[in-house]
Amino acid sequence: MRIGIDVGATGIAGGIVGSEGSVMRELVIATRPERGYERIVMDIAYIINTLKPRLQENGVKIENVGVGIPGIADEKGDVIYCVNLGWKGMPLGRDLKKLTGLEVFIENDANAAALAEHAYGSMKGADCGVMLTLGSGVGGGIVIGGRLHRGFSGAGGEIGHMAVGENFYNCTCGRNGCLETFASARALERYFMKLVEYADEESSALQAVGEAGVVDARTIFEFAKRGDLLSLMAVSRLSRYLAKGIVNIINMLDPEVIVLGGGVSKAGDFLLDMTREQVEREVLYKGVRHAEIKLAEFGDKAGIVGASLIPTYNANPKE
């Protein structure tokens, strides 16, 4: 049995993960990053220490404990960077060992999500698979040779920061044209509002939420499906650039499978079909079998499940 913890900017969620990727005894604590590193570490440790005896009292051996963070960590478990939480150079793995008595492994959360999909979900068994997490930002995780591709500094898989075009605003990372500025929920919302501002066209999506309302990505997708023109234009642009990113991945890594997860992927087949069509048009070697593009199978639980798998993927290549 394994314990997985998913640390996000809003919540710290942990649970016991069963052999087929089921999550039991889930616990959630609000993150409130402004509290600072020490308090959050204590909460993570609290979750682990609460789950631990529930396993031990049943005589179950704890195989793995992993924590996914919205940042990057080195292989010793030191956090290199974690922008959303304001962390830099924190010895998270060692601190958690002190507080729990267990070896705790740290990994990027999008990498962790890719592990969940690779172990039990949409890219099960793939030798090379890539996952894109399309949320408020865009994260990525790459599995090669059945192992997580962490990269030299643990900074690999940041596919959201692949420049794929030129955009009307810069990415938070300082570059222009990052996939994240085209294919995330925030990017969709931002482009939609730009369309509203400049277009002469009325939008029923805008009317639906009222003057003071916020048109979020879900609403835009919903109205695009109903044929609202501005919503459709915004979604179509997202899909076009998403396809650009996917074709870049295909041309570069030629993986077996590319999986779309995160909130934006909840648009489902509507987005998938549009994107697949564009990929077909753009891919370099037409007629040569390329990566299947699929929706992720894990929803919100990908973080916990994936985090619990970190040590396995780091320690044991393939066999």
- Between CA 120 and CA 146 the distance in angstroms is 13
| Contact between 199 and a copy of itself per CB under 8 A | no
> Which residue in 63, 216, 282, 297 binds a copy of itself (CB under 8 A)?
282
> Which residue in 99, 229, 253, 272 binds a copy of itself (CB under 8 A)?
253
Which residue stretch of 4-12, 47-55, 222-230, 278-286 sits at the interface with a copy of itself (rule: CB under 8 A)? 278-286
> Which residue in 2, 118, 237, 244 binds a copy of itself (CB under 8 A)?
244
Give the nearest distance from C-beta 175 to a copy of itself in angstroms. 5
Kindly tell me which of 27 and 80 has the beta carbon lying closer to a copy of itself.
80
> Which residue in 247, 259, 296, 307 binds a copy of itself (CB under 8 A)?
247
Give the nearest distance from C-beta 256 to a copy of itself in angstroms. 5
**Residue 257 phi/psi, 5° resolution?**
-150, 145
In the range 31-50, which residues lie near a copy of itself by CB under 8 A? none
Place of tokens 């959360």: 109
Which DSSP string corresponds to 246-298? HHHHHHHH--SEEEEESGGGGGTHHHHHHHHHHHHHH-SSTTS---EEEE-S-
Which DSSP string corresponds to 172-228? TTS-BSBTHHHHSHHHHHHHHHHHHHH-S---HHHHHH-TT----HHHHHHHHHTT-
Place of tokens 């440790």: 45
| Contact between 214 and a copy of itself per CB under 8 A | no
Pairing relationship of beta strands 257-261 and 292-295 according to DSSP bridges:
parallel
| Contact between 107 and a copy of itself per CB under 8 A | no
In the complex, the residues that contact a copy of itself under the rule CB under 8 A are: 72, 80-81, 127-128, 140, 142, 144-145, 147, 149-159, 161-166, 173-175, 177, 244, 247-248, 250-256, 281-282, 284-285, 288-291
